[in-house]
Amino acid sequence: MALSSFFRSSPKTKQASGSDGVLSMPSARAILLSSVGCMMVLSLLMVASSSIPFALSRGMTELYFFNNQLLYMTIGLIVAIIPYYGVSLRTLYKTETQFLLLGITGILLVATLFSTPINGSKRWLTLGGFNFQVAELAKLVMIVFVSDFVVRRSFEVRNGLDGFLRIMLVVVLITILLLSQPDFGSFVVILGTLFAIFYIAGAPYKHFLALGAAAVGGAVLMVTTAEYRLVRVMSFMDPFDDVQDTDYQLARSLIAFGRGQFTGVGYGESVQKLSHLPEAHTDFLLAITGEELGFVGVSMVLILEALIIG
């Protein structure tokens, strides 16, 4: 496919006169591909910057995590391209395919419960020398499954609780497996995505209120019954009341954002990545971005995410 085809204008945005030299708006496809590409490049740059101190402290090469991230991205692109061109949507949305994907995901989630714990959680499977987080596959499969369901069962979704209740049977099973790892964050993402899909599909507001109240009640129950979750939630009330213990990570990340101010301290000049934030190249990558690139850099990340989602 020619490169120019990625940047074709939408017919609706073309000028009536093509000879006046006025540029047309880029197509949605061009915006999406450009945004994803920019996000991938920016993430590689920030992983390289934030991971060097961590890698050197453990006897690794400076760009060890950068090279890993680049390898994972390459594998991801290959894995994405193969089904994009080799699997039709009709095949993907067949009932047999849907339940096959759900079955594989369920088996892998069960397998993680017997894996080696990492930082106190069993969320990863080691496949051929790579660590694979099954929850990421579960997110993708649930998006595909729920999207197909609201199209096939649009009447039920818009006129009753049957649509919600049927999906909830699947969500409950996935939830039990995720919380057994435990992985509360992935559960919240899946539940939020499900609600967003049903909202777009036209589900009645009263159903959202009822199920939203149930979801909030369940979240409160899960938070209050697990001490580490309760401590994490309470840390947001005052992130500097126990800087050396329960609030350490949150306080350090806020300090990183504060140091960055508007334009940042400069690429590679972060202080918080020097053993202040644990494994800064993972969960705290945005904090390091805020410190080095400032408000401008963080805004760029959010704009790119908005373009990808929109």
Q: What is the pLDDT of residues 112-130, one digit of tens each?
A: 888 777 766 778 877 766 7
Global confidence as pTM? 0.69
Q: Is residue 144, in this structure, part of any structural domain at all?
A: yes
Q: Is residue 4, in this structure, part of any structural domain at all?
A: no
Q: Is residue 6, in this structure, part of any structural domain at all?
A: no
Total domains, the chain: 1
Q: What is the pLDDT of residue 22?
A: 62
Q: What is the pLDDT of residue 194?
A: 83
Q: What is the pLDDT of residue 2?
A: 45
Q: Is residue 19, in this structure, part of any structural domain at all?
A: no
Q: Is residue 41, in this structure, part of any structural domain at all?
A: no
Q: What is the pLDDT of residues 274-292, one digit of tens each?
A: 877 777 788 888 889 999 9
Q: What is the pLDDT of residue 23?
A: 66
Q: Is residue 256, in this structure, part of any structural domain at all?
A: no
- In which element (H, E) is residue 124 found? strand 124-127
CA 59 to chain centre: 30
What is the domain range of residue 182?
A: 94-222
Phi, psi angle pair for 275, to nearest 5°: 75, 5
| pLDDT higher at 234 or 76 | 76
Q: Per-residue pLDDT for 184 more than 50?
A: yes
Q: What is the pLDDT of residue 12?
A: 46
Q: What is the pLDDT of residues 83-108, one digit of tens each?
A: 778 777 777 778 788 888 888 888 88
| pLDDT higher at 157 or 302 | 302
Question: Is there a contact between 8 and 30 (Cβ–Cβ < 8 Å)?
Answer: yes
Q: Is residue 40, in this structure, part of any structural domain at all?
A: no
Q: Is residue 169, in this structure, part of any structural domain at all?
A: yes
Q: What is the pLDDT of residue 20?
A: 56
What one-character-per-residue DSSP string does 130-183 give?
Answer: EEEEHHHHHHHHHHHHHHHHHHHTHHHHHH-SHHHHHHHHHHHHHHHHHHTTT-
Whose tokens are 């000028």? That residue is 15
| Listed residue (128, 116, 203) closest to 165, CA to CA | 203
